[in-house]
Amino acid sequence: MLVTGATGNVGGPLVEALRAAGAAVRPAARRPRDPEGVRFDFSDPGTWDAAFAGVRTMFLVRPPQLADVRRDLVPALVRARERGVRHVVLLSVQGAGLVPVLPHAAAERWLRRSGLAWTFLRPSYFDQNLTTVFAADIRDRSRIVVPAGNGRTAFVDARDVAAVAARVLLDPRAHAGRIWTPTGEEALTWDEAAAVLGEVLGRTIAYTRPGIRAYVRHARHQLGMDPAMAATTAAIHATARLGLAGRLTGDVRAVTGRAPTSLREFARRESRVWAPARCPDATAPGTPPEHRNGGHP
C-alpha cells in the first residue's frame, strides 16, 4: 500500500502503525526521509509511476498548497487508476460534506465518480495545528489568532487519526464506501482551548477572535501563508464560526477500540514546542557569543 504525505502529522505515525502490523507499506513524500520511501510529487508526473507500481490501496493526503483539485490532484489519481490502484483512503476534513468550496469536498466528489473504491476520513480539527501553523503565535505572543468566532471545535490528535487510518488500510474492503469522522471526546470554544494551553504552560494564552479578513491578513503577513492556504484555513475555521465544527463522534473508539487523546493530554505531551525562547545574559561570564541569542530548537 502507498502512503502519501508520509512525513506529515498523520502519514508518519500511520507508516509506523502499518509496519508494526506487518504490512507492506511504501512511504511517499516530496522529500522522503524513510530509506524505503519513494519521491512523490503531485506536480511532477515523473515521480508517479514508481510510486504507484504494484499498489492496490492508497492513502491520499492533499498537500495544503494544492487548492485546485481538478488541476493539481486529478491527473495523478487518473494515473494511479491506470497503474492498478483500486482503493483510495482520502484524508478529508470534518465539514467537507457541508462546505462544498473546500478542496477536500472537491476531492471527495471526484473519487465518488472515479470508479475506484473509496473511504473518506473526515477528522475534526488537528491538535497539531497548534504546534505547527500557529505555534509561533502561541510561543512568542501568547495568543491564538483564528477566525472561529464563539463556535466550538472538536479537537483531535493526528496520531488518533493515523490509528483509524491504519485499521482502514489493513482491511479496506470492510471500510469501502464508509465515511469516518475521527474526533476527540470534547468540543471546546477557542477561549476554552486557550485556557487549557494556559493551564499547561503556566501563562495566559489569549484568543483574539479575528474576523475572516483580519485573519487572512494575519496569515499572509505574519504566518507566511500563500493566498490559497490562507483562504483554505480561513474556510476551515469558518466552519466553527458557523457552528459546524463541534460535532463529536465515537469513531476513534469504534475503529481502534481505545479512547482518543484529550487536548490537555496533547498539550502536556507537546508543551516544549510553545516554550518561549530564552536569551541568556549576554554579560554572563563564559557565555559563547553564538549562544547569546536564545532560540527554540
Q: Where are the domains of the chain?
A: 2-124+157-183+247-260
Q: What is the mean pLDDT of the chain?
A: 92
Number of other CB atoms surrounding residue 49 within 10 Å: 12
Please give the average per-residue pLDDT across 131-140, as a whole number. Answer: 97
Burial 24-42 (b: 16+ CB within 10 A, else e): ebbbbbbebebeebbebbb
C-alpha 57, offset from chain centre = 20
> Closest Cα partner for 119 from 190, 74, 171, 195?
171
In this predicted structure, the answer to whether residue 47 has a pLDDT above a threshold of 90 is yes
Please give the average per-residue pLDDT across 28-50, as a whole number. Answer: 95
Confidence bin at 236 (pLDDT 50/70/90): confident
Q: Tell me the C-alpha distance between 258 and 4, whole Å.
A: 25
- Paired with 26 in beta bridges are 2
In this predicted structure, the answer to whether residue 294 has a pLDDT above a threshold of 70 is no
Per-residue pLDDT reduced to its tens digit, 261-271 = 999 999 999 99
Q: Tell me the C-alpha distance between 63 and 73, whole Å.
A: 9
| C-alpha cell belonging to residue 77 | 489519481
What does the chain come to in residues? Answer: 297
The helix/strand/coil state of 64 is coil
C-alpha 181, offset from chain centre = 14
In this predicted structure, the answer to whether residue 78 has a pLDDT above a threshold of 90 is yes
Residue 276's pLDDT is what? 86
Residue 92's pLDDT is what? 97
Range in 157-161, 162-166, 285-289 with the lowest mean pLDDT: 285-289
Q: Tell me the C-alpha distance between 214 and 165, whole Å.
A: 35
The CATH homologous superfamily of the domain defined by 2-124+157-183+247-260: NAD(P)-binding Rossmann-like Domain (3.40.50.720)
In this predicted structure, the answer to whether residue 280 has a pLDDT above a threshold of 50 is no
Residue 281's pLDDT is what? 47
Instruction: Name the helix (H) or strand (E) containing 104.
Output: helix 103-113
Q: Tell me the C-alpha distance between 264 and 200, whole Å.
A: 7
- Could you give the percent of the chain with pLDDT greater than 70? 93
Residue 290's pLDDT is what? 30
Residue 101's pLDDT is what? 85
Range in 172-176, 201-205, 255-259, 286-290 with the lowest mean pLDDT: 286-290
